[in-house]
Amino acid sequence: MSKLSLIIQREYLTRVRKKSFIIGTLLAPVGLLVYMLVIIGLSSYQGSDEIKVAVIDEATMVNPLSDGKGVRFIPAGTKTLEQLKAEVTAKQLDGVLRIPPLGNFQQKDHTIFYYSDEKLAPEKSSQITEKIAEKIKAFKMDSLHLSEAQLKLLDSEVSIDPEGINSNQEDDQSKYTAGVGLAVGMVMTFLLFFMVMMYGQMVMKSVMEEKTSRIVEVMMSSVRPFDLMMGKIIGAGLVGLTQVVAWVVLSGSVALIVPLVMGIDAAHLQPSIAASGEAAMDPDFMQDNGMRIMAELSKQNWPLLIGSFIIYFLGGYFIYSSMFAAIGSAMGDDMGEGQSLTLPATIPLILAFYIVSMAGWRNPDSGLMVFASIFPLFSPIVMPFRLAFNPPWWQVALSITVVIASAVFFVWLAGRIYRVGILMYGKKVTMKEMWKWTFYKG
């Protein structure tokens, strides 16, 4: 076995066998599971006890009110406000609602009064206002002799359907294209950012450990520094890929299994969403929406997306992890002292992520985005996002060429710094000094 593959093997196995890796890999999907359960639990959570509220309907607009979630409405009948207040004090009622008459039909805002010494919970408060608003709407419609059907006719939904002029892709686009592209792009960006950051820093930490534990001099007398560095970078990269694959598989199965086990499906979740205030959604409409999103997802060029994800992951990972390796080799025993050295590697990475999340979603083809998707320190994060929006092919080709060339360059450069830095002890290293090392002979 070649020395490089021995090193890769060790770097890979020691990490994959670590408890923290196993726990992290298994726990992330479990975390997702817990998260899903919590969301389901919260959305079906029935507020606290029911409250009894007497309703004084001064203009006979709203009575009778049907009971809402956690609120029971009791018509006041002939009782006066003062009598009811006394009942509240005597704890027979939780509160009194007084609904004054409307001034006129044009009036939009209407204030009603709630008498109680207890605070009204926000959930109950919105229950009450929605019920009353519905009743007032019905009252207004009734007075204007309007029917529900007539009212619906007044609503219009407008959407833009993009049509190409010189390209023949007009059929490919719909109002969902942008939204789905955005979602796919953001997921790719986030995954790439997260993985490059996490595994790049893992390489840095591991380089520092070898340096501080002094094993590195023993290693250097057996293998070339470049092999040791590359073995580490490749080994850690494979760990990263392993973790992502494990997460995808595990999360996929969790996402499939949980609804089955819990007996909960999307249809079951809907009523609670609808009840929480939004106008009730038509299940057919939901289904239709889902279908169209699925259709839009299947329209994405997945082989291209996955292929480019791998290219940009490798490109970005090699660029940044070799930078981190060089930085790790230059750091002394004290992690804190060298912290500023990591800035040149972390800032472009974070900046790339910001460019996408701040500017990318507004216009994926803006000048800034085009630049960022070709500049090699940004492109591994930015270009995968743009790919979901069919950028011109020459930009993709240029970006891929630049990112591969840069990866090779950065690995070479890092190797030059690494071989000097790794054997340098007890010296505070500056960026300027690291630059000088790249010109050292042998």
Partner 1 sequence: MILSVQDVVKSYGDYLAVNHVSIDVTKGSVFGMLGPNGAGKTSLIRMITTITAPDSGAIFLDGQKLHSRSPEQIGYMPEERGLYKKMKVGEQLLYLGQLKGLSKAQALHEIDHWFTKFDIKDWWNKKVEDLSKGMQQKIQFIATVLHKPKLLILDEPFTGLDPINTNLIKEVIGELNATGTSIIFSTHRMEQVEEMCDHIVLINKGKNVLYGEVQAIKNQYKQNLFRVETQGEVPAGLPEHFSVVKTEKNALTFKLDDEGQSNDLIKLYIQKGARITRFEEILPTFNEIFIQRVAETGE
Segment 360 to 399, residues that bind partner 1, using CB under 8 A: none
The strand pairing partners of 152, in sequence order, are none
Smallest separation, CB 233 to partner 1 (Å): 17
Contact 438, 413 (CB under 8 A): yes
Segment 12 to 71, residues that bind partner 1, using CB under 8 A: 14
User: Which C-beta is closer to partner 1: that of 255 or that of 423?
Assistant: 423
Region of 52-60, 173-181, 216-224, 259-267 interacting with partner 1 (CB under 8 A) = 216-224
Smallest separation, CB 333 to partner 1 (Å): 12
By the rule CB under 8 A, 111 interacts with partner 1: no
Q: What are phi and psi of 263, to 5 degrees?
A: 65, 25
Given 224, 275, 286, 413, the residue binding partner 1 (CB under 8 A): 224
Smallest separation, CB 15 to partner 1 (Å): 11
Smallest separation, CB 10 to partner 1 (Å): 6
Given 41, 122, 336, 442, the residue binding partner 1 (CB under 8 A): 442
Report the candidate in 320, 322, 325 with the shortest Cα–Cα distance to residue 211. Answer: 325
**Which residue bears the tokens 């494990």?**
246
By the rule CB under 8 A, 440 interacts with partner 1: yes
Distances from the Cα of 408 to the Cα of 68, 308, 319, 345, 417, angstroms: 66, 17, 8, 16, 15
By the rule CB under 8 A, 223 interacts with partner 1: yes
The amino acid at residue 416 is: R
Region of 176-184, 217-225, 318-326, 401-409 interacting with partner 1 (CB under 8 A) = 217-225
Cα dihedral angle (194, 199, 200, 202), rounded to 10 degrees?
A: 130
The count of other CB atoms within 10 Å of the CB of residue 308 is: 20
Helix axes 225-262, 393-421, angle to 10 degrees: 120
Given 111, 167, 213, 298, the residue binding partner 1 (CB under 8 A): 213
For residues 237 and 317, give the distance between their C-alpha atoms in angstroms, rounded to a whole number: 7
The alpha carbon of residue 117 and the mean position of all alpha carbons in its chain are separated, in whole angstroms, by: 42
Smallest separation, CB 17 to partner 1 (Å): 10
User: Which C-beta is closer to partner 1: that of 306 or that of 423?
Assistant: 423
Segment 306 to 325, residues that bind partner 1, using CB under 8 A: none
Residues 411-430, one symbol each (x = binds partner 1 by CB under 8 A, - = not), give ------------x-x-----
- Positions in the binding site for partner 1 (CB under 8 A): 1, 3, 6-7, 10, 14, 210, 213-225, 423, 425, 436, 440-442
